């Protein structure tokens, strides 16, 4: 530890003296660290300095401190880790393959404050007592969320959901076992035919991953507009515009909410709109887009396909007192075509739990659903009893819905 602090101090002094910017001049910084470690190692031969120990570990620690995010950089570099969160100095957790772990990392309060400053430096976002929440994207696409005391009890809460761009298509999900080939074939045809799809599930169930995979089935000539709180989606379309929300300024002006993005997207000549996550009144604008014949997809938190549809019948009511169930419920029944519900299993794996069709009927004020695929008692995704109403649209792209479903 003494060697580490000595080397770290000497490197910082040399960086200031030579005017090097560690974040923009990574190679010169690394060379400088190597030179300091080499010099330190030579001086230990005289016995004037403590023995160096693990030189590579010290090098990595110093570089992480200068060019990265300090003690948590090793977790950001670890490809098996999906999420990192900090509850306090002695409570740094990671999620590896969907399973949470308490790490041995310990930070001081000063280090936590410095970490927050570093994380926000490139985001253009701010967090302070007047605005104690922040939702932002890091340069690599990872999603950052911070909450400050006194909203939290004692320490800031920091959450980093890493951007892992591994899934590009439904075929990728089949390879990982999240989806069967038959279900993937059906979803691929439905998206290509312009079906309106709602992806539901709990937190960390893989909703964004599924949306990304579904986007891989969008015809290449379509113009796609994505609307998100923070950039997470990656659409392979060549004609793609991505938009994210903006927080208000220090003066309380300039905020751009998700609902505004959806409205603006409709003016941008879209062939398809993707809403990253539907939470509130923006659900109404997405329904209006669907009702205008514009294919759309989105995600939301829900416990089942049925609860997802029920939630979509409720959220638009937040748009104002003039919006009632007499309008929303029939619109949901007539606009949404499919609900893909995902589940996060106890072992950390993510699976498609159910695929339900919304044929358009309403019975007793409740939107009717047909189960196209469901999970059986053994945990396998199998063919359900429902038949999709998308036959004509799928036939228009040269495929037969009955053949696709019989493949299951």
CA 292 to chain CA mean position, Å? 28
- For residue 335, how many other CB atoms are within 10 A of its CB? 22
| Sheet containing strand 91-96, strands side by side | 99-102, 91-96, 81-88, 157-161, 143-147, 133-137
CA 339 to chain CA mean position, Å? 19
Residue ranges of the chain with pLDDT lower than 50?
none
**pLDDT value, residue 408:** 62
Q: How many CA atoms lie within 13 A of 43 on its CB side?
A: 12
Residues 6 or more apart whose CB falls under 8 angstroms from that of 349 comprise 97, 98, 177, 178
How far apart CA 82 and CA 161 sit, in angstroms, is: 6
How far apart CA 394 and CA 389 sit, in angstroms, is: 10
DSSP class of residue 277? -
The strand pairing partners of 341, in sequence order, are: 200, 354
**pLDDT value, residue 41:** 80
- For residue 118, how many other CB atoms are within 10 A of its CB? 15
Helix 325-335 × helix 282-291 angle, to 10°: 50
Q: Beta 99-102 vs 91-96: how paired, if at all?
A: antiparallel
Place of tokens 């060549």: 238
- For residue 182, how many other CB atoms are within 10 A of its CB? 18
Distances (CA, A) of 25 to 41, 63, 71, 117: 25, 12, 20, 20
- For residue 246, how many other CB atoms are within 10 A of its CB? 14
**pLDDT value, residue 373:** 96
**pLDDT value, residue 66:** 82
């Amino acid at each position: 530890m003494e060697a580490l602090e000595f080397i770290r101090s000497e490197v910082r002094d040399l960086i200031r003296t030579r005017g090097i910017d560690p974040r923009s001049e990574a190679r010169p910084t690394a060379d400088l660290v190597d030179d300091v470690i080499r010099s330190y190692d030579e001086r230990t031969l005289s016995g004037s300095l403590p023995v160096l120990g693990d030189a590579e570990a010290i090098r990595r620690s110093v570089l992480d401190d200068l060019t990265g995010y300090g003690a948590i950089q090793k977790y950001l570099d670890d490809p098996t880790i999906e999420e990192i969160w900090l509850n306090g100095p002695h409570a740094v957790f990671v999620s590896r393959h969907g399973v949470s772990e308490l790490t041995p990392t310990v930070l001081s309060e000063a280090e936590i404050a410095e970490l927050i400053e570093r994380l926000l430096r490139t985001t253009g976002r701010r967090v302070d007592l007047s605005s104690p929440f922040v939702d932002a994207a890091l340069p690599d696409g990872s999603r950052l969320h911070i909450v400050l005391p006194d909203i939290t009890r004692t320490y800031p809460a920091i959450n980093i959901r890493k951007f892992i761009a591994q899934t590009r298509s439904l075929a990728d999900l089949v390879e990982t076992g999240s989806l069967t080939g038959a279900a993937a074939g059906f979803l691929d045809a439905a998206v290509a035919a312009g079906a309106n799809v709602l992806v539901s599930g709990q937190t960390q169930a893989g909703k964004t991953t599924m949306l990304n995979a579904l986007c891989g089935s969008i015809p290449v000539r379509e113009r796609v507009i994505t609307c998100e709180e923070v950039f997470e989606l990656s659409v392979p379309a060549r004609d793609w515009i991505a938009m994210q929300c903006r927080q208000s300024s220090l003066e309380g002006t300039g905020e751009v909410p998700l609902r505004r993005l959806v409205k603006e997207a409709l003016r941008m000549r879209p062939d398809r709109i993707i809403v990253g996550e539907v939470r509130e009144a923006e659900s109404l604008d997405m329904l209006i887009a669907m009702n205008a014949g514009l294919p759309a997809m989105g995600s939301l938190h829900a416990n089942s396909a049925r609860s997802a549809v029920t939630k979509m019948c409720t959220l638009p009511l937040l748009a104002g007192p003039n919006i009632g169930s007499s309008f929303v419920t029939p619109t949901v029944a007539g606009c949404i075509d499919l609900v893909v519900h995902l589940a996060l299993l106890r072992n950390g794996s993510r699976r498609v739990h159910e695929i339900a069709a919304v044929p358009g009927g309403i019975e007793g004020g409740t939107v009717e659903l047909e189960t196209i695929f469901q999970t059986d008692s053994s945990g396998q995704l199998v063919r359900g009893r429902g038949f999709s109403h998308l036959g004509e649209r799928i036939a228009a792209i040269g495929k037969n819905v009955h053949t696709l479903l019989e493949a299951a």
